[in-house]
Structure 1
Amino acid sequence: MANQSQRTPGRLMFFLLALIVVPAADGESNRSVLNRILEDRMTQSEPSLGEQIEACERIAADRQGPVLDAEKLSSLGAKRHQVVTALAYLHARNQYLCEREMQQEGALKRDVLAHLQAKRGKAGRSNYPTHERFLDEGYRYHRLAGKYRALPLGLRRHLEERVGNVPFNLPRTMENAGYAPLQ
């Protein structure tokens, strides 16, 4: 992932420079050629977002997950619903942190591609089937964030220290903490 973040500024600069160069190109044929090159480059690199999502999901699936001390949680006065809410939020946050860079790059690509296609008279389209997934997850994430911020500060700090910023397996973590799924 570090390698990916090192390449991103170059990609972004390419796209931004292209937006400046395209209108300044002499003649309609040069502009059309540049638009086609940019459009091809955009559509060819789209799978990287899906690959990043899969990589983040693999990290979570492969990771044992944080081990939570039930006695410590009890000493903090944590109730089951508070721990469940906190873990659900931290899980969503860590997934988002893992996928964020590619989501942002994907949003830029979609915008540039829609702009290029509009200039060519094509209907805007997106090969990102996960776009609605991000909107839905964003809504749920912000709802959870509000509930999370209402939890006692001591509980939040304890769980943040235990969980960290890496994606984790939520069901496995819940089981490890003695919070089996409700039936």
Structure 2
Amino acid sequence: MGCKETSIFYWFFPQGYGRSLWLMHGFYKSNGGCGYVKKPDFLLTVGPNNEVFNPKASLPVKKTLKVSQSLILAVGIAGVPADTMMKKTKIIEDNWTPVWNEEFIFHLTVPELALLRIEVHEYDMSEKDDFAGQTCLPVSELRPGIRAVPLFNRKGIQFNSVKLLMRFEFV
């Protein structure tokens, strides 16, 4: 399995386990997971007045992602500040087959740099929420339709038989 591009796009995150490592793993799932991700063209060019891309600038929405799921407690976007957010599903107690049927809509200004972040937690009234799994996916690699999304543990190791059934739409 070869790389699609040879340009290197280094995205630096703090080292160690946790959300920072999850984001880094998610970002590099692009391009077949080979470790090389080409910079988007807007990061390689300079404007007519020598301006460069400003991730904090107020930009128009380029793409809207609608995410539907049945077994998720937290879903969000990591990217430029205008796109970064996290939303949670409602809590369902004492149900062996919980179904949320909730949709989340994310208006993305820079979808080329956005990651879909998913965390699953078990809610227990007597104790704190228990982490059950996570995944991060580059929005640029998502395809419309119903998909089986793998889950990973805190260290980024994929669970063998655990997947989330999700539907992605770009509206």
Q: Do they fold alike, i.e. is TM over 0.5? A: no
Normalising by structure 2, we get a TM-score of: 0.25
TM-score computed with the length of structure 1 as normaliser: 0.24
Larger radius of gyration: 1
Greater fraction helix: 1
Q: Which has the higher contact order (CA 8 A, sep 6+)?
A: 1
More strand by share: 2
